[in-house]
Structure 1
Amino acid sequence: LSKGADVNAQGGYYGSALQAASLGGHDKIVELLLSKGANVNVQGGHYGSALQAASLGGHDKTIELLLSKGADVNAQGGHYGSALQAVSYGGHDKTIELLLSKGADVNAQGGGYGSALQAASCRAHDKIIKLLLSKGAV
């Protein structure tokens, strides 16, 4: 970055540096990129957004950082469709509760699995399925 790299450059599988760092749960790098002007809601790549990438890995600290910087909890796009669908597929029940507490739409449609309930069902995450149903998933 000190040599002039574009913090918002897009392309490739991950979509952006912020999305790649978020997927790995690299909080310090995420924080650095955001402090240098990275767009927290940039769309693109396989994961759709940084929040969706962090959600797939269940990286709560990264998710909280992204949300505190204005990440859209209901942004659509990417393979998983939404952050809630990504975390449901990943099987991270505590992270699901975090996203739901921040206003994630339990019935959002889209992505390769169609909904969070379908993503959780695909991976037989019983606890997550029960949680989503208790929150009104259909």
Structure 2
Amino acid sequence: MEPAKYGQETLVKLLLATDGVDVNLQDKFGRTPLMEAVKYGLETLVKLLLATDGVDVNLQDRDGRTPLMEAVVGESETIVRLLLATDRVDVNLQDRDGSTPLMEAVTFGKETTVKLLLALDGVDVNLQDRYDRTPLMEATGRGYEAIVKLLLATDRVYSVK
């Protein structure tokens, strides 16, 4: 499914229409066509893949990263919204370092994305990474006052350590 990486929409449509094509096939790094489309900000291909039956939006690569994590650190808030709109995304999946999409958004100072994630009922604002840091600790340590206020306003933060 390499064409997804290069934005070749016509080829991707052709492949998806072919019997036996596995839309969730992972390369040697564990990356899927959806991850590649997200990583490169290919919004049209992300929409196409999300509309495909059987696409797994929660597959993790060998580092434990998900399409949502890629979208959060990328430049496209629209792609974050597209993934969240599927209602199939597990927003609390952690990568091998214990980071979550919320932690990624906090780390990169993406206030709008933090707001989007905090608006979800299931997001756990207290998950710790492998260094025992929570999103609140990360935001505080980086001096992101607006994000600290957002996290505290959720009334779900129970640990400051």
Q: What interval of TM-score do these two structures reach, taking the shorter chain for normalisation?
A: 0.7 to 0.9
Provide the secondary structure at the position in 1 that maps to 2:22: coil
Distance 1:123 1:18 in 2: 31
Distance 1:122 1:107 in 2: 16
The corresponding residue for 1:68 is 85
Matches within 5 A, 1:1-138: 1=12, 2-3=14-15, 6-12=22-28, 15-36=31-52, 37-46=54-63, 48-57=65-74, 59-69=76-86, 70-79=88-97, 81-103=99-121, 104-110=123-129, 114-136=133-155, 137=157, 138=160
The 1:29/1:111 distance shift into structure 2, 3 A limit, reads farther
Task: Identify the structure with bigger relative contact order (alpha carbons < 8 Å, sequence gap 6+).
Answer: 1
Distance 1:124 1:85 in 2: 14
Gaps of 5+ in 2: 1-11
The one-letter amino acid of 1:16's match is T
Percent identity of equivalent pairs: 32
The one-letter amino acid of 2:32's match is S
The 1:49/1:127 distance shift into structure 2, 3 A limit, reads same
Distance 1:13 1:59 in 2: 23
TM-score by length of 1: 0.79
Structure with max Cα Rg:
2
Distance 1:84 1:63 in 2: 12
User: Which stretches of structure 1, 4 residues or longer, exceed 6 Å deviation after superposition?
Assistant: none
- Report how many aligned residue pairs link the two structures: 138
Superposed displacement of residue 78, structure 1 = 4.3
